[in-house]
């Protein structure tokens, strides 16, 4: 009898606990979030971070001298420490993008495939996650240099070591190659939960190859990575983004919470903090560029840029166009024009397995950019007829020709424009009055949080950067 009483008591207790658990649970909230949904969140976070116009997080349009500040001039004069901008960008990429990709991968790996076809779809998903992760690390390693990589998400260590930037770069190229080989274009992947390509695996192959091409060209700049760069270019160039329909893009929506962050930062917030910089505007004026009305507003019938780093009168200066600040304007991370300029560079360098001439790809890059922004065939033709634009007669070396036109085409993509300027050293940037540092920044400094919470590894990484250490002026391995 005693045993029966104990058993009944235990049963009642278990039932009561179960009832309490149900009372404490939200029946409308998922207990386990599917990995596919986490991947969607990571995609959006990546595009939001790279597209943002928030001075606390993303100042790359300022570093690329596409924009200039009107009143608060710190970042235009390269003071990135006051707002701790590098830390915000670092945390945004690790916490909001890479952590979600890591979680998404773990969740999807944990779901068993029910058939051979399901297994192929699963492998496609995992390869796509890895490609996205490679892109995120590519941005970090080309911004900071050495960084936490192999142990970045090791929960057993709160003080991750920094991996050598060349080692990381080479591993990223290896991963991309493996991912492309894994992708099966005859099968699906994420479907509509892929916010970029809608699960189209063939487009992911093109994006991955375009990223390999982009990274391969950078790798050519250093003897230790040049061989890997050559291989990446030769293997990828034949199947890259080949039209604006293939662009790696995120289409924002006209209503929140899925609006373009530029609209949030400038329009919804009613901010008048930025104007187009004279660096870009004057360059485009000098060649009668037909993209100007798509990039900027006119003032008094002309396009007038703010003097970079010197402040501006907002009322008498051109503004960022309504097209760019629209709530539903799409964001680009890699597009057809950029790929054509990359192929032009590969052809100009010689010794690489790339079809077509530098002039052909250069012309295709300009054409793709003008058409993307809304220009006409007639405008393309007239622009290319100018001696200062045509590849055969434009001023300078292939680096200057390609670098200048690629810079114009990378409008609104501050990070890439800044990176290409670091590579080509064209166009010539303005030195702002009252510049805080002696040189225009060529990297981001490590976060203050790393200096405080991971000091031992921070000190090693700073020393590994060489002369100058953790400074804005310290060049990375590929920046010659």
23-72: pLDDT as tens digits: 455 555 555 799 999 999 999 999 999 999 999 999 999 999 999 999 99
According to the model, what pLDDT value does residue 31 have? 58
Helix (H, G, I), strand (E, B), or coil: what is residue 249? strand
170-192: pLDDT as tens digits: 999 999 999 999 999 999 999 99
Angle between helices 398-409 and 414-424 (to 10 degrees): 170
Nearest to 196 by CA among 34, 46, 414: 46
Please report which residue ranges of 69-200 form alpha helices under DSSP H.
85-91, 99-109, 116-144, 165-182
* Rounded Cα distance, 277 and 66, in Å: 5
pLDDT higher than 50, residue 3: no
According to the model, what pLDDT value does residue 434 have? 81
Listed range (94-108, 273-287, 393-407, 437-451) with the worst mean pLDDT? 437-451
Q: When comparing pLDDT for 302 and 157, which is higher?
A: 302
- Helix (H) or strand (E) holding 248, with range, is strand 248-250
* Rounded Cα distance, 24 and 288, in Å: 66
pLDDT higher than 80, residue 17: no
- Helix (H) or strand (E) holding 3, with range, is helix 2-23
Over residues 409-438, the mean pLDDT reads 94
Other Cβ atoms within 10 Å of 178 Cβ, number: 11
75-87: pLDDT as tens digits: 999 999 999 999 9
According to the model, what pLDDT value does residue 6 have? 33
* Rounded Cα distance, 120 and 107, in Å: 16
User: What's the chain's length in residues?
Assistant: 480
pLDDT higher than 50, residue 378: yes
First vs last C-alpha separation in the chain: 87
Angle between helices 358-373 and 377-385 (to 10 degrees): 140
- Tell the burial category of 280 from Cβ atoms under 10 Å away from its Cβ (0-12, 13-18, 19+): buried
Nearest to 231 by CA among 269, 174, 188, 192: 174
**Angle, vertex CA 416, rays to CA 415 and CA 418, nearest 5:** 65
According to the model, what pLDDT value does residue 324 have? 99
According to the model, what pLDDT value does residue 197 have? 99
Give yes or no for a contact between 104 and 38, defined as CB atoms under 8 angstroms apart. yes
Nearest to 93 by CA among 139, 51, 59, 37: 139
* Rounded Cα distance, 106 and 110, in Å: 6
Question: What is the CATH number assigned to the segment(s) 35-256+329-464?
Answer: 1.25.40.390
Specify the residue for token string 């700049």. Answer: 221
* Rounded Cα distance, 304 and 66, in Å: 13
Nearest to 131 by CA among 221, 34, 197: 197
pLDDT higher than 90, residue 465: yes
* Rounded Cα distance, 273 and 252, in Å: 23
Nearest to 76 by CA among 271, 315, 261, 306: 306
Over residues 469-480, the mean pLDDT reads 97
The four Cα atoms 406, 443, 59, 89 give a dihedral, to 10 degrees, of 120
Share of the chain above pLDDT 90, in %: 90
Mean pLDDT of the chain, nearest integer: 94
pLDDT higher than 60, residue 11: no
According to the model, what pLDDT value does residue 369 have? 99
Pairing of strands 248-250, 274-276: unpaired
According to the model, what pLDDT value does residue 7 have? 34
- Helix (H) or strand (E) holding 347, with range, is helix 336-349
pLDDT higher than 80, residue 163: yes
According to the model, what pLDDT value does residue 439 have? 86
Over residues 330-343, the mean pLDDT reads 99
Over residues 141-165, the mean pLDDT reads 96
pLDDT higher than 90, residue 1: no
273-307: pLDDT as tens digits: 999 999 999 999 999 999 999 999 999 999 999 99
* Rounded Cα distance, 85 and 75, in Å: 9
Over residues 194-206, the mean pLDDT reads 99
Q: Using 50, 70 and 90 to split pLDDT, how confident is the model at 10?
A: very low
According to the model, what pLDDT value does residue 437 have? 77
The residues pairing with 250 across neighbouring beta strands, listed in sequence order, are 331
To the question of pTM greater than 0.85 for the whole model, the response is yes
* Rounded Cα distance, 366 and 394, in Å: 13
Residue 248, φ and ψ in degrees, nearest 5? -85, 95
According to the model, what pLDDT value does residue 29 have? 54
Q: Using 50, 70 and 90 to split pLDDT, how confident is the model at 18?
A: very low
According to the model, what pLDDT value does residue 155 have? 84
DSSP state of 147: B
Contacts of 211 (CB under 8 A, 6+ apart): 131, 134, 135, 138, 176, 334
* Rounded Cα distance, 241 and 341, in Å: 12
According to the model, what pLDDT value does residue 158 have? 87
């Amino acid at each position: 009898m005693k045993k029966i009483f104990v058993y009944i008591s235990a049963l009642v207790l278990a039932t009561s606990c179960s009832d309490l658990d149900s009372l404490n649970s939200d029946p409308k909230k998922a207990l386990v979030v599917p990995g596919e949904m986490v991947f969607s969140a990571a995609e959006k976070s990546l595009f939001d971070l790279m597209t943002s116009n928030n001075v606390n997080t993303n100042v790359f349009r300022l570093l690329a001298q596409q924009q200039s500040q009107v009143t608060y001039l710190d970042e235009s004069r390269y003071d990135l420490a006051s707002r701790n901008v590098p830390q915000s960008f670092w945390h945004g990429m690790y916490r909001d993008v890479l952590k979600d990709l890591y979680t998404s991968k773990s969740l999807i790996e944990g779901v068993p495939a029910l058939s051979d076809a399901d297994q192929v779809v699963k492998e496609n998903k995992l390869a796509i996650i890895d490609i996205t992760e490679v892109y995120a690390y590519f941005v970090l390693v080309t911004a900071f240099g050495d960084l936490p990589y192999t142990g970045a998400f090791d929960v057993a260590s709160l003080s991750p070591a920094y991996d050598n930037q060349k080692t990381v770069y080479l591993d990223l190229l290896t991963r991309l190659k493996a991912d492309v080989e894994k992708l099966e274009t005859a099968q699906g992947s994420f479907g509509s939960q892929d916010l970029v390509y809608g699960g189209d695996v063939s487009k992911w192959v093109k994006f991955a190859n375009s990223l390999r091409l982009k990274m391969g060209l950078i790798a050519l700049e250093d003897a230790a990575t040049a061989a890997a760069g050559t291989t990446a270019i030769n293997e990828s160039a034949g199947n890259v983004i080949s039209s604006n329909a293939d662009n790696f893009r995120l289409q924002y929506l006209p209503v929140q919470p899925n609006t373009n962050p530029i609209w949030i930062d400038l329009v919804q917030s009613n901010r008048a903090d930025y104007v187009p910089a004279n660096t870009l505007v004057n360059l485009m004026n000098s060649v009668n560029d037909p993209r100007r009305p798509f990039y900027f507003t006119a003032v008094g019938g002309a396009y007038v840029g703010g003097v970079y780093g010197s402040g501006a009168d907002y009322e008498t200066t051109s503004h960022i166009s309504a097209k760019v600040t629209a709530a539903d304007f799409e964001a680009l991370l890699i597009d057809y024009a950029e790929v054509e300029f990359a192929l032009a560079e590969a052809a100009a360098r010689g010794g690489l397995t790339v079809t077509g001439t530098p002039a052909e790809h250069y012309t295709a890059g300009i054409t793709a950019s003008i058409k993307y922004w809304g220009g006409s065939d007639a405008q393309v033709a007239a622009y290319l007829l100018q001696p200062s634009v045509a590849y055969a007669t434009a001023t300078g070396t292939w680096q200057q020709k390609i670098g200048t036109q690629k810079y114009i085409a990378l409008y609104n993509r501050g990070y890439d424009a800044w990176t290409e300027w670091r590579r080509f050293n064209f166009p010539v940037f303005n030195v702002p009055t009252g510049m805080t540092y002696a040189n225009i920044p060529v990297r981001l400094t490590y976060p203050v949080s790393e200096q405080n919470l991971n000091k031992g590894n921070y000190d090693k990484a700073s020393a590994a950067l060489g002369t100058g250490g953790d400074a804005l002026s310290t060049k990375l391995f590929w920046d010659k």
